[in-house]
Amino acid sequence: MRFPELRLRRLRRTPAIRRLFDAPPPPPAKFVWPVFVVEGEGRCEPIAAMPGQSRLSVDELVRALEPVASQGIGGVLLFGQTEGEKDAGGSGAFDERGVVQRAVPAIKRAFPDLVVMTDVCLCAYTAHGHCGPLDRQGQVDNDAAVGLLARVAVSHAAAGADVVAPSAMMDGQVQAIRAALDENAFDQTLLMAYSTKFASSMYGPFRDAENSAPSAGDRKGYQASYGNLRAALRESDFDEDEGADILMVKPALFYLDVLARLRERTELPLAAYNVSGEYSMLIAAAERGWGDLRAMARESLMALDRAGADLLLSYWAPRYREIFGA
């Protein structure tokens, strides 16, 4: 059949007809809110580059999670930072009295049904801001970093984290972390690999929030190159082989093709990390009157769902009801 007998607009003539065929929005349980935890009490410091997000002390974080949990959001992803000494190896990251290690049990106590995930990296704790210690040439020492990352992951699991999420992009980090968890009897702790994580210019607002920008150089020697799709896909293949329970694509919106490709390639659950730059650019556009914020947020999150993400790591999570509500 052809036009004029065939008319595609019939299927979208009225809101009621469109509603019959449109995919529903991803439910709140698929969302995970990334949050920034700081030392002290009563601290709630707005992050200039990420309007609506703040650095929170543990007590304020628990308070902020009330409306998030009540919307049925699936979980939180914790990023810690220290005001203590930063050293060459980022040892503050596995301090058992660190903010992440204290935040995990506090959240589990207040919200037993919220899945608590922790970012496992060293960059917020190293003096130079790289994701592992440096060798004599000034490159990140892969194998030394892996040993330290395993200690961080075990300290988070010991605190009660449901999921540990290594983001350093070191070779062998997933295998080493799984082995260390199992040795320490944390065989039920899930491992979500930041498996295909690109060296991206969309992390700027986050590095401001976390104080984790490298003081010299960049992360191109360890994070994936967006110019090399095959190598980027292999990163996820390797992490699956090494025993990851969940894979991830990060950033998400600029990499929907990668998400869709991985969706066809693996049966593992797939997470999409809707990063800080992707969040803040919509807000900046809306502030200039160049788009409706709620509609832009909704459309971008529907795209991640459509591309095949099972889990949406997004700073929009606390605003779920506002974005998707009737």
Helix (H, G, I), strand (E, B) or coil at 154: helix
> According to the binding rule CB under 6 A, does residue 324 interact with ligand PBG?
no
* Smallest gap from residue 207 Cβ to ligand PBG (A): 6
Query: What are the angstrom distances between the C-alpha of 163 and each of 61, 117, 253?
Result: 18, 4, 23
For 136-149, give one letter per residue: b (16+ CB within 10 A) or e. eeeebbbeebbbbb
DSSP 8-class letter at 29: G
Residues between 158 and 197 with contacts to ligand PBG, criterion CB under 6 A: 167-168
Q: Which is nearer to ligand PBG, 110 or 256 (CB)?
A: 256
For residue 316, the minimal CB distance to ligand PBG (Å) is 12
As measured in angstroms, the least distance from the Cβ of 122 to ligand PBG is 8
* Rounded distance between C-alpha atoms, residue 141 and residue 161, angstroms: 27
275 binds, among ligand PBG, Zn ion, none (CB under 5 to 8 A by kind): ligand PBG
The amino acid sitting at 144 is: A
206 binds ligand PBG per the rule CB under 6 A: yes
35 binds ligand PBG (CB under 6 A): no
DSSP string, 230-289: HHHHHHHHHHHHTT-SBEEEES-GGGHHHHHHHHHH--S-EEEEE-HHHHHHHHHHHHTT
Look at the block and give the residue holding tokens 């992440």: 100
276 interface partner picked from Zn ion, ligand PBG, none, CB below 5 to 8 A per type:
ligand PBG
Q: Least distance in Å: CB of 215 to Zn ion?
A: 13
Helix (H, G, I), strand (E, B) or coil at 106: helix
CA distance 321 to 326: 8
Provide the minimum distance between the beta carbon of 206 and ligand PBG in the complex, in angstroms, as a whole number. Answer: 3
Q: What does 119 interact with, of ligand PBG, Zn ion, none (CB < 5 to 8 A by kind)?
A: ligand PBG
Residues 209-248 that bind ligand PBG (CB under 6 A): 212, 219
Which C-beta is closer to ligand PBG: that of 82 or that of 167? 167
- List the interface residues with Zn ion, window 265-304 (CB under 5 A): none
The only residue of 78, 99, 100, 131 in contact with Zn ion, by rule CB under 5 A: 131
Binding to ligand PBG in span 113-142, by CB under 6 A: 119, 121, 123, 131
Six-digit token string for 268: 């593992």
* Angle at which helices 293-307 and 276-287 cross, to 10°: 150
197 among known catalytic residues: yes
- The answer to whether 252 touches 304, Cβ cutoff 8 Å, is yes
Binding piece for ligand PBG, criterion CB under 6 A, among 21-29, 206-214, 261-269, 281-289: 206-214
> Which residues have a catalytic role annotated?
197, 250
Interface positions with ligand PBG (CB under 6 A): 119, 121, 123, 131, 167-168, 203, 206-207, 212, 219, 275-276
| Contacts to Zn ion by CB under 5 A | 121, 123, 131
